[in-house]
Structure 1
Amino acid sequence: MTENFDGLAAEQAAGDGIWSEEAEFAGWEDGGFGDEMGGPVVPTPTLAIVGRPNVGKSTLVNRIIGRREAVVQDIPGVTRDRVSYDALWAGRKFTVVDTGGWEPDAQGLAGEVALQAERAMKTTDAVLVVVDASVGATHTDEAIAKVLRRSKVPVILVANKVDDERTLADAAALWNLGLGEPFPVSALHGRGSGDLLDAIMAAMPEAPSEFAANQGGPRRVALLGKPNVGKSSLLNRLSGESRSVVDSVAGTTVDPVDSLVELDGEVWRFVDTAGLRKRVHQAKGMEFYASLRTQSALESAEVAIVLIDSSEPLSEQDQRVITMVIESGRALVIAMNKADLVDGDRRTEIERELDRDLARVQWAEVINIAAKTGRGVHRLAPALRTALDSWDKRIPTGQLNSWLGTLIQGTPPPVRSGKQPKVLFATQAGNRPPTFVLFTTGFLEAGYRRFIERRLREDFGFKGSPVRVNVRVREKRGAKK
């Protein structure tokens, strides 16, 4: 093996093909891929969109942000939480908060939804009230107007479903709500949306009223798991407020829900996501779009907390969620929730299940928590930091090759087709997740690549992060390109 690595200088001088390839990857060590996720997050002003159920709030959100992200379906009550989206108009960035339908006298789950909408009114920089012009002002619309007339933030009244000139008179009738001039729009067709956006920009402050001091850009954490595993309860526990709607009915969360949470002296951006019941291609309607939003939330996150109900046996759904995180290349922490419901016998079963069913993610830290009582929740922040440190880690090329030379000298690659492949050079192609490329004279078996990955973890850490080991086989001299 020493001969392989000592021979690199001679091959470089001879202009062997490996060195042109090595040059091709040289930029990777210096972060040639760029950091697509690590830039600073600049606080932006926030616009809350409120109104009674099924007046077209989520359709209007999609029109304002210019893309189909908010879940829309022709039944009331699809949106249940406060959900944030980034928007841009006339060169200015702002955040749009979609809310569940507001009912002043709602009870149970509907009451929780109404509470979320009320909170959005109090914690944003401007409020946009949506009224169905084809129906006119209802008692609920008048109740919303009464609350907002006392509000200190700017209020914009939108008369939605004004699809043509004939319904303009219906929009004018909404002056009697006392919220100023109603803007007639058709969220479905886009009519009047440009004028509305100009009015929003005129009403919104240049700087946000909340979190303006948060300059560093909080690390992004996705909360994942099957339905009713306790994701929203955990988010509410961490944030210290009823941030997400929680109900014993599975599937309460439909959209990803963003929350800035201070945890262990650091601000994190947590995203509560819809529980995944089926594979995306098998889901239908609202569930299909919710699955896409969940996948999108994972892609925009840096680390995922996968919640598993420790009171039940590990399911295929749990395995599917973990697979999704591995394939996305995100850092991972596994939280075994509802630990307060586990007895001694079940604890023994859990240990067996983890050894059997989660052997492929032995590198992920497993934490026992109880979201409802707060037990063990304080251990999440250290686990998240460890996972993110591993996810960001780089090994200098010289140190990596010295380590690899010693490793392969002790355990050379298995012979393949009568020949033993040689490893000529190695480099860390990137981080987030750590990705290594081995330049070789022949293919390395999958088992040997797993051996290298295991030893990388033993000697360099990488707790909580996936590690990828790729092989680049050098072409033979004189081979045709």
Structure 2
Amino acid sequence: MSDIDLPPDLDEPTGPLPVVAVVGRPNVGKSTLVNRFIGRRAAVVQDVPGVTRDRIPYQALWNGKNFTVVDTGGWEPKATGMAAAIARQAEYAMKTADVIVLVVDASVGATETDLAAARVLRRSDRPVILVANKVDDERSEAGAAELWSLGLGEPFPVSALHGRGSGDLLDLVLDAMPEAPRETEDQGGPRRVALVGRPNVGKSSLINRLSKEERSVVDSVAGTTVDPVDSIVTIGGEEWRFVDTAGLRRRVNTASGTEYYASLRTEAAIEAAEVAVVLLAADEVISEQDQRVITQVIEAGRSLVIAFNKWDTLDEDRHAQLEKEIDRDLARVKWASRVNISALTGRGVNKLAGHLKEALAGWETRVPTAELNTFIRALVQETPPPARGGRAPKIKYVTQADIRPPRFVVFSTGFLEAGYRRFLERRLREQFGFHGTPIDVSVKVRESKARDLKK
């Protein structure tokens, strides 16, 4: 690997993406429209107001352009309590967006809340697209025309539920986007932590211990928590936003009723978090449910801290057995940050802050391209990829395409076996750290120039 090619073009986005914020009062179909934008059912949809409580980003692709769509909770101008917190999240999304999509229910018409939202958005320096939702056919378009009164220009009629007009709306959104994303400042607020685990491992008890109040309901009956519960807690002199989630008993597609929606909201909480604390009961065997929760965090690409609760209850025999279980069942996440705690007594709880910071630092680590390729060149000379079909592939170039989580793309003249990709990941961790974060190593096969000339 004596020569390093110039960085090739990547199919995946490598820089900041334009942001589209979807806002509006509760239950007008924002999440349904977001699902249309991203082409899959990711945002939780239910026919009651208040299902979405936070701003949740999703990546979307339309006509070859990548962008981020932010689903927000229902905006109310005079909200109090939890509704006020939801409104603040929506307002922040509006401030940081490149394009704002205001969704109004055309079947109801402009309400006082819609008028209040329009007054705020008319003062915005962002492009605003007014969407008249629930226009299922031509007969419903008269209701959409009445929304001219909001003073935001022509209302665009769509049916998010049935997809009517969604493609034309996406074209309009793309036309409104700036050539480069708006430079946004960090929110400066607490980092988001999802507290997850199977039922009755002590998640709500830990939240109460951290917040020093009865913030979450605690009961010996598993499944007390259904909705994610946000709490601002202080650990190690720093504020963190913890989300206590419902215990995940089973896979979403086998859950039903309230448990189904609880599972979806827990998934959304993980997606919206930056780091997840997976709480395990140290006095119980590491179970299939525990493994599934860890897998869910990894697949979401979030940094990971594994906390063993009830550590103070262990005797010597259980301690020795648990160490064997960790070696056997958690071998795939040796990189995860681990901490032993007791939510009941408070033992070790203050150590969480250091582990959270370590995991987030790994999650946001970027290796300079020159340093990365110098390391890879030496590594491949020492241990070249195994031959396949009589021909040994040659690694031409490696780039770190993204952070949060770190994602590497290896450009090679041939396919790299899964075992060699795991070898690369292990050595990247040994060299550069990446503590507490999943990393992704993908391969793009590019034929060598010499082979191309022979064709």
What TM bracket, shorter-length normalisation?
0.5 to 0.7
Does the Cα contact within 8 Å between 1:87 and 1:94 map onto a contact in 2?
no
Residues in 1 aligned to 2:251 and 2:309: alpha-carbon distance in whole angstroms: 23
Residues 190, 239 of structure 2: 8 Å contact kept: yes
Shift of 1:192: 9.5
Q: How many residues align?
A: 341
1:32 paired residue among 15, 18, 22 = 15
**SS, match of residue 373 in structure 1:** coil
Q: Does residue 351 of structure 1 match 2:351?
A: no
Cα distance in 1 for partners of 2:304, 2:221 equals: 27
Q: 1:164 aligns to what?
A: none
Give the whole-Å Cα distance in 1 for the aligned partners of 2:300 and 2:12: 23
Matches within 5 A, 1:370-385: 370-385=342-357
Task: Quote the offset at 1:475 in angstroms.
Answer: 3.0
Residues 71 and 286 in structure 1, CA contact (< 8 A), matched pair in contact too: no
Q: Partner residue of 1:246?
A: 218
Does the Cα contact within 8 Å between 1:84 and 1:95 map onto a contact in 2?
no
Residue 431 (structure 1) aligned with residue 403 (structure 2): yes
SS of alignment partner, residue 276 of structure 2: strand
**TM-score w.r.t. structure 1 length?**
0.63
Structure 1 position 67, deviation (Å): 4.7
Show the 5 A alignment for 1:62-101: 62-63=26-27, 67=31, 86-87=72-73, 89=75, 97=82
Question: In the alignment, is the contact (CA less than 8 A) between 2:73 and 2:87 conserved in 1?
Answer: no
Offset of 1:478 from its aligned partner? 4.0
The alignment partner of 1:63 has SS state of coil
Alpha-carbon separation, structure 2, partners of 1:268 and 1:34 = 26
1:268 is the counterpart of 2:207:
no
Report if the CA contact (8 A) 2:275-2:303 is conserved.
Answer: yes
Question: How far 1:394 sits from its partner (Å)?
Answer: 0.3
1:101-156 deviation line (CA, Å, top 9, x unaligned):
xxxxxxxxxxxxxxxxxxx9xx9999xxxxxxxxxxxxxxxxxxxxxxxxxxxxxx
8 Å Cα contact 2:74-2:86 kept in structure 1: no
Map 1:282-361; keep pairs closer than 5 Å. Answer: 282-361=254-333
Q: Is the 8 A contact 2:75 2:86 kept in 1?
A: no
In the TM superposition, residue 25 of structure 1 has moved relative to its aligned partner by: 3.4
Describe the SS at the equivalent of 2:201: coil
Seq. identity, %: 55
Q: Which has the larger radius of gyration?
A: 1
1:347/1:304 Cα in 2 relative to 1: closer, same or farther (>3 Å)?
A: same
Following the alignment from structure 2 to structure 1, what is the Cα–Cα distance between the partners of residues 376 and 226? 47
- In structure 2, the CA distance between the partners of 1:469 and 1:196, relative to structure 1 (3 Å rule), is closer
CA RMSD of aligned residues (A): 3.8
Q: Contact (CA 8 Å) 1:88, 1:94: kept in 2 or not?
A: no
Counterpart mapping for 1:170-181 below 5 A: none
Equivalent pair of 1:64/1:193 in contact (CA under 8 Å): no
Contact 1:429 1:437 in 2 (8 A): yes
The alignment status of 1:5 with 2:2, answered yes or no, reads: yes
Amino acid in structure 1 at the alignment position of 2:433: G
C-alpha deviation, 1:195, in angstroms = 3.9
Q: Secondary structure at the match of 1:5?
A: coil
Partners of 1:450 and 1:435 in 2: CA distance: 13
- Paired residues of 1:70 and 1:255 also in contact (CA < 8 A): no
SS at match of 1:24: coil
Shift of 1:337: 0.6
> What is the Cα deviation at residue 88 of structure 1?
5.2
Deviation at 1:459, TM superposition (A): 1.1
CA offset digits 1:127-186 (Å, max 9, x no partner): xxxxxxxxxxxxxxxxxxxxxxxxxxxxxxxxxxxxxxxxxxxxxxxxxxxxxxxxxxxx
Q: Decide whether the 8 Å contact of 1:65 with 1:88 is kept in 2.
A: no
User: In the alignment, which residue of structure 1 is the partner of 2:198?
Assistant: 226
Instruction: Tell me, in whole angstroms, the C-alpha distance in 2 between the residues paired with 1:64 and 1:428.
Output: 40
Structure 2 contact 27–74 (Cα < 8 Å) conserved: no
Determine helix, strand or coil for the equivalent of 1:464.
Answer: coil
Partner of 1:116: none
- Helix, strand or coil for the counterpart of 2:82? strand
Partner of 2:392: 420
Q: How does 1:111-260 map to 2 (within 5 A)?
A: 194-195=111-112, 216-260=188-232
In structure 1, give the amino acid aligned to 2:370. G
The 3-state SS of whatever aligns with 1:439 is strand
SS class of match (1:235): helix
Q: 1:327-377: per-residue Cα shift (whole Å, max 9, x none)?
A: 111100000011122111100110000000011000002111111111110
Superposition TM-score, scaled by structure 2 size: 0.66
Which sections of structure 1, spanning at least 5 residues, go unmatched?
A: 13-18, 37-60, 99-119, 127-188, 203-213
| 1:212-234 deviation digits (Å, cap 9, x = unpaired) | xx961221110000011111111
Unaligned runs of 5+ in 2: 20-24, 33-42, 56-71, 89-105, 120-185
